[in-house]
Amino acid sequence: MPWQSGARGFSGGNVASLSTAAFTIGGSDRYLEIEAYSGAGTPQNVSTAAWDAAGVNEALSIVEAHVTFNTNFRASKWALVAPSALTSKVVTVTWASNQDETMILADAYDTIDQATPARTRPTPAQGTGNTPSLSVTSVAGDIVVGSLANSKNPGDLTTIASSLVTIREKVEGADLGGYETCAQGDVVATGTSTSVGFTQSVASGSGTYVLFGVALIPASGASPTSFPPVRSIGQRIAPILNF
């Protein structure tokens, strides 16, 4: 599986800057995908996102525009092709001003095409409910990533699970008081359409969500298909004739 490593970060401390826990990026044909999410009386856009801001300071680019939902919540997606291979470093995100709650989910992959790492991203799914899902156009062998940002007021969101993706990082209700939850995970595509989705547990009612999806393209030759060796005509006929 091309997933390498990842980390999460979260704060309920009314901050404008947040870092994940430390994680390591290695391998070849590297790719980094993050979700940034905040909740506030006036939610703000992310200003910057960087891998190892205190060192190589490599800026991530926004790949999914900021989505504001349920009035007080805003999420976006950011990515970096060919992040430096570093040990025990962090992703740092800065918002335009302090946010009541802030969250980052970061995941690193290897063997991803460096020229065209992702297929066209679908319009994020938005709505109210506890089992959001999204169909992502894919090719067999793609790594399809789903990223959920969920909200509820009053705050009684609890746990997140998924039968469609392997969850790599998540922030659940117990982490931030139940007003926000988020999760990011992936699955290997087997066909031309791949569903990503999550199940949100809640004390009562339903959350309001945005769900992003993307199909990451494997690097050429990253997953070669094995075929049996081709034998000569003589080799194939001999057993039949019992030579």
Q: What is the rounded CA–CA span in Å between residue 2 and residue 112? A: 8
pLDDT at residue number 240 = 40
Rounded to whole angstroms, the Cα distance separating 168 from 68 reads: 24
Q: Which amino acid is at 115?
A: A
Q: Residue 1: what pLDDT?
A: 75
CB 157, CB 180: distance < 8 Å: yes
Q: How far apart are CA 223 and CA 219, in angstroms?
A: 8
pLDDT confidence of residue 220: 86
Distance, CA of 3 to CA of 15 (rounded, Å) = 30
- Regions of the chain where pLDDT drops below 50: 223-243
pLDDT recorded at residue 21: 98
Tokens of 175: 């982490």
Contact 126, 165 (CB under 8 A): no
Note the pLDDT of residue 221.
Answer: 57
What is the model's pLDDT at position 118?
98
DSSP at 53: T
pLDDT digits (tens, 9 = 90+) for 146-170: 999 999 999 999 999 999 999 999 9
Supply the DSSP symbol for 242: T
pLDDT of residue 236: 41
